[in-house]
Amino acid sequence: MIIVIQCRDQVGLVAAISGALARLQLNIISLREHVDQTENRFFIRIEVDGETATAPLRHELGYLLPGDAIISINPQPEKKIVVLVTKEYHCLSDILIRHHFGTLGASVRHVIGNYPVLEDICRRFEIPFTLISHENLEKEDFERQIMDVLLRLQPDYIVLAKFMRILSPAFVKAFPARIINIHHSFLPAFVGANPYRQAFERGVKLIGATAHFVTDQLDEGPIIAQQTIPVDHSYTAAAMMKAGKEIETAVLASALRLVFDDRVLVYKNKTIIFQ
């Protein structure tokens, strides 16, 4: 069982939480905590061994912790995800392979694409695919059709695996800190479209990728994982893009692993990552 808590910091929180777990005969296997002194915010992730009902544990912790405490008690169920795609295959194929071999840490319940390009690979892995084209549709109608599928499936997370459409604030609001995007740039540099062209024209010496939660601000949501590699003057924009796809795949996989293992806590526009 994994317990994740964030709340206002005060003296004695670790002792109080540990005592509550001991009273319920829950043995602590691992414990990681962090205090953001600027925000006076306390974060903790605890893995425990033992069995207890969720309600008594939540009640016990709620009684001891500050009133603003956010408590997540997760007996490590397999997360359910829906993946949104456009045409690029590299991130989706990596997710499907990991799902097939049981190393993703989540179950891919569905893939939604606004083009039919990736339907075949989904069929090969026996994953349902729904085509929802944005063409000749108002944004609101396009998103409503996607929302209908999501509300039916009730995923824990939505993964944008190179889904090249900007989601509306209303859509994002419906899934707070539950939409994960891979951006083909080392944010905050080169936001928006054509980042490799931007990087090439700027003559950068590093390129990278960023996985983050989606918010109303384009490419400015809480960052989960990032990675860079060196490049030089010999790289064309096309060569940068090819190298960048490898980074995108790795960074998204790393971010998903952290999120699915309940190692990511979000506060305001930042994340606390317990590796």
Q: To the nearest whole percent, how much of the chain has pLDDT over 90?
A: 77
Q: To the nearest whole percent, how much of the chain has pLDDT over 70?
A: 96
Q: Are residues 162 and 89 in the same domain?
A: yes
Is 68 among the catalytic positions? no
Tell me the β-bridge partners of 225: 211
Instruction: Say which amino acid occupies 217.
Output: Q
Confidence of residue 239 (pLDDT cuts 50, 70, 90): confident
Residue 31 has pLDDT above 70, yes or no: yes
Q: Are residues 161 and 109 in the same domain?
A: yes
Out of 74, 96, 127, pick the residue that ends a domain.
Answer: 74
The CATH number covering residue 249 comes to 3.40.50.170
Domain of 245, in residue numbers: 79-273
Q: Determine the average pLDDT of the residues in 8-28.
A: 95
- Candidates 144, 166, 140; CA nearest to 221 is 166
Digit-coded pLDDT (tens) for 177-232: 999 999 877 655 666 667 777 778 888 888 889 999 999 988 889 999 999 889 88
Q: Are residues 123 and 251 in the same domain?
A: yes
Q: Are residues 20 and 98 in the same domain?
A: no
Q: Are residues 114 and 217 in the same domain?
A: yes
Q: Determine the average pLDDT of the residues in 75-97.
A: 93
Q: Is the peptide bond before 188 cis (omega within 30 degrees of 0)?
A: yes
Q: How far apart are CA 63 and CA 57, in angstroms?
A: 10
pTM over 0.95: no
Q: Are residues 110 and 232 in the same domain?
A: yes
Give the strand order in the sheet containing 206-213: 129-131, 106-113, 79-85, 157-160, 179-183, 206-213, 223-230
Q: Are residues 114 and 232 in the same domain?
A: yes
H helices within the chain, ranges in order?
13-23, 54-64, 90-100, 119-124, 139-153, 169-173, 195-202, 237-260
Counting the structural domains of the chain, the total is 2
The length of the chain, given as a count of residues: 275
Residue given tokens 């989904």 in the structure block:
122
Q: Are residues 86 and 69 in the same domain?
A: no
Which is the catalytic residue, given 219, 232, 261, 262?
Answer: 219
The CATH number covering residue 46 comes to 3.30.70.260
Which run of H or of E encompasses 67? none
